[in-house]
Amino acid sequence: MARQYQKMIKDRDILFIPLENNSQVEHAKPFKLLPLASRLVLQKMFSEKDPKQSFFVLIGKDGKEKARSPFPRLPHFFHLIDQMPMRQHEMKRKN
């Protein structure tokens, strides 16, 4: 992951959860891995639209899908996150 995004990721409390179960994912950084059973539940919930496609899903803290992309569009995801009420509140509280 590009260093330029590390602070932005931390500021927005973003958690990356790879849903594939392979050795490359198991050792990927900066991913925090959930137990396999939890990842399989998430995979089932968010892959119904495109079961054979690889994609990135932005899931809000409310558990709902906010955006989907076939590649990681971090600047776009940051913009979407910054428009969310919870993030707006966090930004006001920090200033």
What pLDDT is recorded for position 95? 76
pLDDT score for 25: 47
The whole-angstrom separation of Cα 37 and Cα 87 is: 29
Q: What is the pTM of this model?
A: 0.68
Backbone angles phi, psi at 93, to 5 degrees: -65, -35
| pLDDT tens by residue, 16-47 | 776 654 444 444 444 555 677 777 777 777 76
Q: Which tens digits make up the pLDDT trace of 45-80?
A: 776 666 566 677 888 888 888 888 888 788 999 999
| Cα dihedral 65, 68, 79, 81 in deg (nearest 10) | 20
From CA 58, how far away is CA 56, in angstroms rounded?
A: 7
E strand map for the chain: 56-59, 65-69
With cut-offs at 50, 70 and 90, classify the pLDDT of residue 3. confident
